[in-house]
Amino acid sequence: MIDKTVSSASAAISDIRSGMTLAVGGFGLCGIPENLISALLSSGITNLTCISNNAGVDDFGLGLLLQKKQIKKMIASYVGENAAFERQMLSGELEVDLIPQGTLATRCLAAGYGMPAIFTPAGVGTEVAKGKESRKFTFHGVEKEYLMETAFEIDFSLVKAWKGDRMGNLVYRATALNFNHVMAMAGKTTIAEVEELVEPGELDPNFIHTPGIYVSKIVQGVHYEKRIEQRTIRARNQSF
């Protein structure tokens, strides 16, 4: 068995250095690698470039790293929930690249599939297109303009799965799947934390999301908070 288990989140991130590019899984606070973020927070590593759909909130997720100014540059699609972020960005302290969500996901996918670039219509005619190569293609019978977007070059991907085995095979739960799977595929090195670490053979091979080949290290997470960003509920007598 190729055993990828490491004993703790801090051991898992021990090869990450200041100045590296990280992809961090999750959508909002859903499915974020809480333990690996905590380990980064106490590591003192700085000057990070972080690729993540969002930037957490002020006191949770990547927001924690922003508060300690460990992030030099964020590449994200939506940062509306983080006041510290907005402040650092508008003051120019934090370098920010806002890109379309599908472009973000597909640039990860391209990296994981070994393709240097993809073409997407997202952002054509907007400031996202500035300085980018564009081409016209006829697709589904319609000629349209597409932007060339390159695969991310990611030193480390930090992802969170529901279950994983010691060989690194991962299964996600519900919408916590989000960016975790594509980011797991996209890292030159990928570190996964899981709610439940199991022995090889315990996960049904028919239902693996990310095959272990993409995962370098796997760690059992502890003390999951799994914070809810917008707690919305309905009354018992309400249909929708």
Partner 1 sequence: MLDKNGIAKRIAQEVKDGYYVNLGIGIPTLVANYIPDNINVVLQSENGLLGMGPFPFEGEEDADYINAGKQTITTVPGSAFFDSAMSFGMIRARKIHLTILGAMEVSENGDIANWKIPGKMVKGMGGAMDLVASAENIIVAMQHVNKAGESKLLPECTLPLTGIRCVKKVVTELGVFDILPEGGFKLVECAPDVTIEQIKAATKGRLIV
Residues that bind partner 1 (CB under 8 A): 27-31, 53, 76-81, 86, 89-90, 96, 98-106, 108-109, 120-128, 140, 162, 172-182, 209, 226-234, 236, 238-240
Q: Which is nearer to partner 1, 7 or 237 (CB)?
A: 237
- CA dist., res. 159 & res. 198, Å (int): 17
Q: Which is nearer to partner 1, 89 or 191 (CB)?
A: 89
Residue 192 CB, nearest approach to partner 1 (Å): 14
Residue 7 CB, nearest approach to partner 1 (Å): 26
Residue 199 CB, nearest approach to partner 1 (Å): 24
Residue 144 CB, nearest approach to partner 1 (Å): 9
Q: Which is nearer to partner 1, 17 or 132 (CB)?
A: 132
CA distances from 18 to 15, 21, 23, 51, 93 (A): 10, 9, 14, 15, 17
Q: Which is nearer to partner 1, 23 or 40 (CB)?
A: 23
Q: Which residue is it, tokens 């597909």? A: 106
The β-bridge relationship of strands 187-198 and 217-220 is parallel
CA distances from 115 to 106, 132, 161 (A): 10, 18, 25
- CA dist., res. 211 & res. 185, Å (int): 9
Q: Which is nearer to partner 1, 183 or 218 (CB)?
A: 183
Residue 2 CB, nearest approach to partner 1 (Å): 24
Per the rule left: phi > 0, alpha: psi between -120 and 50, beta: everything else, 171 is beta
